[in-house]
Chain A
């Protein structure tokens, strides 16, 4: 079964990392990702740019309204996501724990995937 791991973190903190600190976290995460990829469990990995670069289309009205910034004003922001394959929630939680050890702080939301279309984009 496929799960999305949605990564939430305080953007003010992540944006305060120096390039070295950021690189160090990414390198640690890459080790976990490599392992998952070898096991055939890793789908797309996406890191989003800061929410300051976000634009929101409110489509609950006609015509839809374009607003600057992210949809949800939360203390922790959605900064990226993974799609992984796991036989059970326990297994995906274990994957999330490994990722968390490489990148502490914030939260991972684990959500089962309903439809997965890998699309045609390349990295």
Chain B
């Protein structure tokens, strides 16, 4: 890696703790961002010459703080603070800064920084955009590209989100145990959203969106390092890793979705799977079940199956049953029906999803799954109607293309469709 690329990764990894401390200090997102920005510029100037500091985050916090205070003083026409080059023994200052950042404070600072981004008043898309801007440090342009909107629209969205969280006034005191677990839950949900935003993308726009999934995993690992004994955070990390492990296999060369059962499992990333399975094992040891653990366990069962026919569908059906009880939602019931179809047949699955029709009528996957069940039962005409509806609701061209493939199969005179037409 070149100097600049290498410094870039150090700055990226130091950003969350440094921003968290600067926000605590200045109590203002914009001032903290400017301070961090200035510190990064000085790092780019100073690090290639002097070598990187041992604790990059502490260096950036100190330099950022001084730079921001300096700006304020200059505006007041007062004496500037010494530049960081003139500070005689930077390592001492670093050490004392580190000492002052109490371990627990630091943890709560980063959690707080993540939490302000997912304030319940913010709509999901604003939460993600704000987290990418503030915590990850993506440029407005990068975020705009990932969300397929114009730079101006994204700039506005972020400005509005910042104004809203400023008004929300999240307290800076150390949170109580209950507050902390609520914050953790909100942050976990936001990270999952962020991951999914990247995950649903097709090959065409994978470039900018794939970053979103990587970023969600990076932040999840960071959160887990801060809260190493939280089974739900382990499980969320596992869930993201296990899903991300299939990224290379999820789309064909034409950009169409490849269903789990048709994926080339050789393309699954074994390293990510190993990490995910290890985290599921760790989480389950705590015997404090939660929705992410159930979902990660399901993803783990898929990952463990070397061939589609090795999948333990009965266990997956049971796990979805558990998830239905913990977190009742029509989408979970729909997923359970897909598993049940493997264990008890398409007829049973169809019966399970019919009551969901009213609530899931606008949901792409509902019509896709319904079409697949009908197709399996030989009800070709009804399947075609369901698939047409799914195409109309597809979120991405890749999703639509996938359903079109199934439709093609329906229309193509083949032994399979022949059987269906008769059946």
Contact = CB atoms under 8 A, between A and B. Distances in A.
B9 A53 contact: no
B214 interface: yes
Nearest to A104: B6
Bin chain A's interface residue count: 20 to 34
Interface in B210-233: 214, 218, 221-222, 224-225, 228-229
Contact of A104 (B1, B222, B237, B278): B1
A39 interface: no
A67 B282 CA distance: 10
B13 A13 contact: yes
Interface residues of B, number: 28
A66 B6 CA distance: 36
Contacts of B358: none
Contacts of A61: none
Contacts of B10: 13, 105
Interface stretch (A15-23, A79-87, A88-96, A112-120): A15-23
B278 A18 contact: no
Chain B binding surface, main DSSP class: helix
B223 to A, nearest CB: 9
B285 interface: yes
B228 A52 contact: yes
Interface in B21-74: 52, 54-55
Contacts, number: 60
Given A15-B13, A68-B229, A104-B6, A49 B282 contact: no
A18 B14 CA distance: 15
B222 A12 contact: yes
Interface in B182-234: 214, 218, 221-222, 224-225, 228-229, 234
B1 A49 contact: no
B218 A52 contact: no
A21 B1 contact: yes
B275 A53 contact: yes
Nearest to B274: A49
A52 B275 CA distance: 9
A67 B285 CA distance: 11
A121 B52 CA distance: 39
Closest 10 CB pairs of A and B: A69-B228, A12-B13, A16-B13, A53-B278, A52-B224, A13-B13, A49-B275, A68-B228, A68-B229, A16-B12
